[in-house]
A and B are shown apart, each in its own frame.
Chain A
Amino acid sequence: MKRLKKTAGSVAYHGFILLFGFFMFYPVMWLIASSFKEHAEIFQNAHSLIPNQFHFENYAQGWKGFGGVTFGTFFKNSFIISSISTFGQIFSASLVAYGFSRIKFFGKKFWFKVMIITMLLPGQVLQIPQYLLFNKLGWIDTFKPLILPSFFAGPFFIFLMVQFIQGLPIELDEAARIDGCDRYSIYFRIILPNIKPALITAGIFSFYWTWNNFLQALLYIQTIEKYPASLALQLFSDPTSVTHWGAMFAMAVLSLVPIFLIFITFQKHLVEGISTTGLKG
């Protein structure tokens, strides 16, 4: 009897999660299915998840982009922006995190508190003055506004790495110091190699935030040749101009592929990263 109850509980548990999961997952599956559907089919039998016929040519059509610029260019731009920002973010944040967690200096507590407060400050509020500043510097229609700020350590990433460095035994530093290492070589030789998991976690987040970034691209990039994929997709999908829906869905799917790949490869790090620091909402 008890065993039966347990089995019934198990069935209910998995049944519920799968059913709920189906609704959760339906939009994603629908997007993928639509990317293979023929134009008319997208509207006729809109909810179906299995296309009558797989139209791979949607992908070829979408890849052509618009205005003679292909999605190859847009993806290349996204990759350049995301990878350089990510490098800048990881490097600068690890430096700052080392300073905060291992060095006793005047005013440290104060600055740390300030940093934590800036974490709560919504960035969009600063959009206009930042735009005016970048405009003055002549950075409009360049990648600079999208890349350079990343080299000045975002508080989220600093916080994540501080948590991690504090978990490392201080004896590591002390042993290195006895061996004649100064602050700078301790950072390069002891800290950096030992916080690899934190670097990876921060790297993934940074990459996929910049990859998805839309508002900044919308504000700063004007020439089509410089569009990142997010911006191109939006223009491409303007309801007044879309003529080929299958192609648009195909490019939407393609734009999510890098994020999925990174997520699947580094899944464990990501879950741990979110769990330990409460990163991102």
Chain B
Amino acid sequence: MRNLLSKIRDTLNNDNLAGYLFISPWLIGFFAFMVIPMGLSLYLSFTRYSVLTPPVWIGLQNYKEIFTADPRFWQALKVTFTYVLGAVPLRLIFALFLAVLFSQKRALVGLYRTMYYIPSLIGGSVAVAVMWRQLFGVYGALNSALIKAGLIETGFGWNTHPKTALLSLIVLAAWQFGSPMLIFLAGLKQIPASLYESAAIDGANWWQTFFKITLPMLSPIIFFNLVMQLINNFMVFTQAYIITGGQPFDRTLVYILYLFQKGFTYSQMGYACALAWILLFIIGVITAFIFKSSAGWVYYESKGDF
């Protein structure tokens, strides 16, 4: 009996078994919530499936239809790319700009940093989306202020007009630059002071120091922020769903919203799965491209453990 017990103990303490036991929560979840759904989704993308009746295999039909006979798909792509190309650079530029300001040793900097982070803290919530709709609405605060200032005479529907609706969503995204800002701040602190000191001795001005020292030393962080922000912004949903609902005339129909409509409003699950795979492919290509290009502009001092 004692022998058996100690045997069990030994087995449990075997590194291979213990290792897999410890990582099992993730490993099981990985298969249950990722591998299996992905397989299922790939299969369904080749079928016509409305949930009520079993899926019917139709080969590449969905993909063919998406690329050749679905103007809303192209519209969703256009909207999403415009959104990403607007939101990501704005976010990163604001984030970097304020991180540089907040990296100075001055009074109240800690407080400022916290205050500037708050929009990011609450930005993803339904409450803020609801607020944004009101802020930019015909009877909203923006119009009211503009009228008071004598700039316009009657209210303008910022988030309902075809020309500005998407812009109101981009502004909301740009407003939440807090997280990349904090990451930049941490990166700025890592740059050795000695570099700046020798630059000062050489008589470099602020711009030279910024472009020759700060930016290159920060490039791994810029790279990280860029990748994360791209992926995040491609996935925008809640804000578009609540603030504009894709309106007017699909001018704010972001990709995930379209996917959601196809899947859950029109019950075209197979079609929606094909849409998901196309998006995954696009994001994969963009990420791979950034990773490839990074060798040219990202400067690494040392390599990590893994």
Contact = CB atoms under 8 A, between A and B. Distances in A.
A122 B280 contact: yes
Given A99-B22, A124-B237, A105 B140 contact: no
A17 B25 contact: no
Interface stretch (B65-73, B192-200, B201-209, B226-234): B226-234
Q: Is the interface of A mostly helix, strand, loop or mixed?
A: helix
A242 B140 CA distance: 15
Given A99-B23, A122-B234, A152-B26, A281 B264 contact: no
B218 to A, nearest CB: 13
Interface stretch (A50-58, A79-87, A195-203, A267-275): A267-275
Given A21-B112, A252-B131, A275-B185, A219 B264 contact: yes
A120 B283 CA distance: 10
B127 A31 contact: yes
Nearest to A150: B29
A203 to B, nearest CB: 15
A267 B111 CA distance: 11
Contacts of B9: 182
Contact of B118 (A16, A28, A279): A28
Contacts of A135: 51
Q: Is the interface of B mostly helix, strand, loop or mixed?
A: helix
B297 interface: no
A279 B122 contact: no
A43 interface: yes
B122 A129 contact: no
A252 to B, nearest CB: 4
Contacts of A256: 122, 125, 127-128
Interface string A76-119: 00000000000000001101101110011110110111111010
Contact of A281 (B143, B186, B229): B229
A208 B179 CA distance: 14
Contacts of A206: none
A253 interface: yes
A66 interface: no
A16 B101 CA distance: 10
Interface string B19-52: 1111101111110111011101100100000010
Nearest to B124: A212
Contacts of A115: 26, 30
Interface of B: 9, 12-13, 15-23, 25-30, 32-34, 36-38, 40-41, 44, 51, 101, 104, 106, 108, 112-119, 121-122, 124-128, 130-135, 139-145, 148, 175, 179-180, 182-183, 185-186, 221, 224-225, 227-229, 231-235, 237-238, 241-242, 256, 259-260, 263-264, 269, 272-273, 276-277, 279-280, 283, 287, 305-306
Given A27-B135, A103-B15, A127-B259, 17 more contacts: A14-B108, A34-B134, A108-B19, A114-B30, A129-B40, A151-B25, A151-B29, A155-B26, A158-B26, A233-B130, A234-B242, A252-B130, A276-B186, A278-B183, A278-B224, A280-B179, A281-B231
